[in-house]
Amino acid sequence: MSAPLDPHGKRVVLAHGGGGQLTETLLRETVMPRLGNPLLDPMDDSALLPTDGPVAFTTDSYVVQPLEFPGGNIGKLAVCGTVNDLAVCGARPSWLSLGLILEEGLDLEVLRRVLDSVAATAEEAGVRIVTGDTKVVARGQADGLYINTAGVGALRAGLELGAARCRPGDALLINGTIADHGMAVMLQREGGSQIESDLASDVAPLGGLIGDLLEQVPQTRFLRDATRGGLAGVVADLAAGSGFHVTLDQESIPVRAATQYAAEMLGFDPLNVANEGKVVAVVPAEHEQRALDVLRGHAYGREAAVIGHVGEVRDGLCDLFTYVGGRRIVQKPYGEDLPRIC
Amino acid sequence: MTAGDAPTPREAMARLTAALTDVVSAHRAAGGGLLRFMEVCGTHTVSAFRSGVHSLMPEGVKLISGPGCPVCVTAQRYIDALIDLGRREGVTLTTYGDMLRVTGAGGSLELARSEGADVRVVTSSMEAVEIAAAEPDREVVFAAVGFETTAPATAAAVLAAQTRGLGNFTVLAAHKLVLPAMQTLLADPNLAVDGFLCPGHVSVIIGAEAYRPVVDSHGSPCVIAGFEALQMMEGILHLARQVVAGEARLENLYPTVVGSQPQPHAMALIERVFQPGDSAWRALGVMPESGLDLRPELAPFDALARFDIVLGEDDDPPGCRCGEVITGQCEPLDCGLFGTACTPVTPIGPCMVSSEGTCQAWFKYRRHEMRKGAGA
């Protein structure tokens, strides 16, 4: 006899995280049918992974509000974020852990949708969830649902990636429009009532795109996913890490008109706004065109563009050649980028 | 050139700067000195820095940022009152995000929040009203700051709360008026400004003619321009032309948006809810009739009255030159704290706190000049 999830079977209750029958029911009925695979199915205390050679290992926690937003949800985000962190290090993402922290009262339908997304995104990214954990905290002690994912992937041989490898003349590329994730989430959070928009998050697993790039342009010098801190955060780090001056050309940075509009309305600079499906790549000048072709040949890179170059001046700064021909410094944003008020 | 050959923004800007260079050359050839124009709106400030307008300015012209950032001019005594309220049992503070990090004598709202105060960031005054409606057990206070642009929204919120019979909604009003500030600046003999680039947003509400006294009594050219970089540069070009021609006129380059007369609906809202009152400006002191107080009959919605708060005195941080920065008397680089003790991470003065503040904009977008200035 299976224990009832709650009187109506609709919501998470504390006992779902208690490690007893109800936990087992939740795993058996909700989690395993979606995520089961030979490495997870034994449900032992650890997953046993067949590795050979050096691996990359990363972890990230996801606390996005709202849990569901145009273009994705916290589940898709949790898989993509960790997959992308592995991929930009030159690893082939393979295995993920999934830690769920549920708030008492969470609608089980929401949890099912989130887990559906985890499963679909993992499938697309070619990764498996191989170990996991579920905890429930009392109402008010969390905000619906938090997720932690860790990931492991085998490192590709023969790569050397890092800002310090960048040289004058190198080209900066990005695989598409910036700021879509941050603005889509912001608009959803603001109720979306004041600004009508069809903006959607760009959240996407980039393992395939990055894999293609590294295979066809192994001379790639630097890769970084432009998440929190946006494109500005990445290029400021790149400039500082390389020691050279980096110039971005504002005209060539892809921004959707709706995203630009939303950013202006809410007082954000798109350069500082988070992405969840964008990678900045630096390649030597002679490989610029090939890298661009590779990115554009991929579903997540159709709008890829060369957005700037590494210069010769050794000042470790990044500046933006603006759309009207002015110049100004690009810096890493400071913490929370606060909305303007007038 | 056919209609299809519209200039790119870079080409359009190049034409404007070339024209401005010609005007400035003529001015200098005639023995004229440095032309200093002040933008009096934080949105202009941010737009100019983000688009690199300063880097395009020909030698001999300088754009100075005036007291147009609402956060920067909000007095410390007001922040102290907010923090006092935030620490009271049952009070929920609602505020625009920029206010979170402004410091008063007793810390910032961000700090108060970390200590347990219920401080919530809203993007509209109506959101604060909705919180009050949804949580009748909380006393919801809205931190009402900003110029004529945000005052109508605050007024609408107060009237909505009144209509809906919300007894738990109040505002702590610190709205400021643009014109008294400009007139105070002009009364200062140390002010060296050759003309004003007037803000689009505010001008929509108060109407272009509101600047007439500045032009007529003080002989200062006023040009109303939009917020886009090209519109700003065009405004600067028009200001320079006036100076060179020895004129002081009111020009409205934004006539599709800014009318000559006040926006009647917005002004009516302001007048129904507020009356002009003396107001304390950060680093500038109390200016007569430069702010908006709630009308006495709306006292139930006035947080000062409801919570029996008396605003204290200001104790501006020693060494901070924000007051001189926002009156154009010095630049951030001239301040000993700028970029060393005072940075966006550890702001001391209000101009470093706000994203519209001159010091933060300098630090974010012109730091390379700062490095040069420091000889590094």
Residues on chain A touching B149 (C-beta within 8 angstroms): 342
Which tops the pLDDT comparison, A102 or B46?
A: A102
Residues of chain B predicted below pLDDT 70: 1-4, 367-376
Q: Taking all residues of chain A, what is their mean pLDDT, rounded to a whole number?
A: 91
- Out of A49-53, A91-95, B198-202, the most confident range is A91-95
User: Are both A30 and A134 inside the same structural domain?
Assistant: yes
Q: Flag whether pLDDT at A197 surpasses 90.
A: no
B10: nearest CB among A190, A325, A329: A325
- Could A326 and B367 be called an inter-chain contact, meaning their C-beta atoms sit closer than 8 Å? no
Q: Measured between beta carbons, which residues in chain B are less than 8 angstroms from residue A335?
A: 345
Q: Considering the domain boundaries, does residue A342 fall inside one? A: no
Q: Are A205 and A118 in contact (CB under 8 A)?
A: no
Q: pLDDT value at position B285?
A: 82
Asked if A339 has any chain B CB less than 8 Å from its own CB, the reply is yes
CATH at residue A142? 3.30.1330.10
Rounded-to-integer distance, Cα B204 and Cα A235, Å: 38
- Contact with chain B for residue A187, Cβ under 8 A: no
Task: Please tell me the distance in Å from A231's CA to the nearest CA on chain B.
Answer: 15
B46 touches chain A (CB under 8 A): yes
**Residue A2 forms part of a structural domain:** no
Give the minimum alpha-carbon distance from A334 to chain B in angstroms, rounded to a whole number: 7
Residue of A194, A251, A317 with shortest CB distance to B368: A317
A269 lies within 8 A of chain B by CB:
yes
- For residue B229, list chain A residues with Cβ-Cβ distance below 8 A: 322-324, 326
Total structural domains within chain A: 2
Q: How many CA atoms lie within 13 A of B243 on its CB side?
A: 30
Q: Tell me which residue range forms the domain holding A252.
A: 163-330
What domains can you pick out in chain B, each with its CATH number? 3-69+181-252 (3.40.50.11750), 76-177+262-306 (3.40.50.11740)
Cβ-defined contact of A325 to B56 (cutoff 8 Å): yes
| A179 and A325 belong to one structural domain | yes
Q: Which residues of A touch B70 (CB under 8 A)?
A: 341-342
**Residue at B142: amino acid letter:** F
Q: For residues A93 and A121, state if they share a domain.
A: yes
**Is A292 found in the same domain as A183?**
yes
In a domain, A340, yes or no: no
Q: What are the start-end ranges of the H helices in chain B? A: 9-29, 42-51, 53-56, 76-86, 109-114, 125-134, 151-163, 178-187, 200-206, 212-218, 229-244, 264-273, 303-306, 322-325, 350-353, 358-365, 367-373
Q: What integer pLDDT is reported at residue B372 of this predicted model?
A: 47
Tell me how far apart the alpha carbons of residues A281 and A165 are, in angstroms, rounded to a whole number.
Answer: 12
Taking a contact as any Cβ pair under 8 Å apart, which residues of chain B between 261 and 320 contact chain A? none
**Domain boundary at A104, A133, A155, which?**
A155
Q: Return the structure tokens found at B348.
A: 């001391």
Domain boundary among A133, A155, A177: A155
| Same-domain check for residues A192 and A249 | yes
Note which residues in 232-261 of chain B have CB less than 8 A from chain A. 233
B174 in helix, strand or coil? strand
Q: Which residues contact B234 (CB under 8 A, 6 or more apart)?
A: B16, B225, B253
Residue B52 and residue A251: Cβ atoms within 8 Å? no
Q: To 5 degrees, how large is the angle CA A59–CA A80–CA A178? A: 115
Whether residue A325 sits in one domain with residue A182: yes
Looking at the fold, whether A171 and A192 belong to one and the same domain comes out as: yes
- Residues of B within 8 A of A247 (CB-CB) are none
Shortest alpha-carbon distance between residue A184 and chain B (Å): 16
pLDDT score recorded for residue B369: 64
How far from chain centre, in Å, is Cα A264? 24
pLDDT score for A134: 94
- Give the tens place of pLDDT for each residue, A239-271: 999 999 999 999 999 999 999 988 888 778 999
* Chain-chain contact of B96 with A190 (C-beta, under 8 angstroms): no
- Residue A342 — pLDDT band, cuts 50, 70, 90? very low
Q: Are residues A167 and A44 in the same domain?
A: no
Question: pLDDT tens across B175-229, in order?
Answer: 999 898 888 888 888 788 899 999 888 898 999 999 999 999 889 999 999 989 9
Question: Are residues A325 and A206 both part of a single domain?
Answer: yes
**Interface list for A 236-265 with B (CB within 8 A):** 251
Q: Is a pLDDT exceeding 70 seen at residue A4? A: no
Claim to verify: residue A20 and residue A148 sit in the same structural domain: yes
Identify whether residues A235 and A143 lie together within a single domain. no
Domain of residue A174, CATH code: 3.90.650.10
Instruction: Dump pLDDT digits (tens) for A109-143.
Output: 999 999 999 999 999 999 999 999 999 999 999 99
Give B-chain residues touching A267 at CB under 8 angstroms: 355
Question: Omega before A66 cis (within 30°)?
Answer: yes
Mark whether A57 and A98 lie in a shared domain.
Answer: yes
Complex ipTM value: 0.81
Assess if residue A4 is contained within a domain.
no
Min Cα–Cα distance to chain A from B250, Å: 23
- The minimum CA-CA distance between B147 and chain A, rounded to whole Å, is 8
Confirm if B93 and B141 have CB atoms less than 8 A apart: yes
Task: Return the residue of B nearest to A327 by Cα.
Answer: B52
Question: Could you tell me if B148 and B198 are in contact, meaning their C-beta atoms sit under 8 angstroms apart?
Answer: no
- Note whether residue A301 is domain-resident: yes
In a domain, A61, yes or no: yes
**Structural domain ending residue among the three candidates A129, A155, A181:** A155
Give the C-alpha separation, A48 to A45, whole Å: 10
- Determine whether the interchain pair B97/A334 forms a contact, defined as Cβ–Cβ distance below 8 Å: no
A99/chain B closest Cα distance in angstroms: 27
Quick: pLDDT tens for A151-168.
999 999 989 999 999 999
pLDDT at A5 over 60: no
Mean of the pLDDT values across residues A176-203?
81
Q: Name the residue among B365, B368, B370, B335 with its Cα closest to residue B350.
A: B335
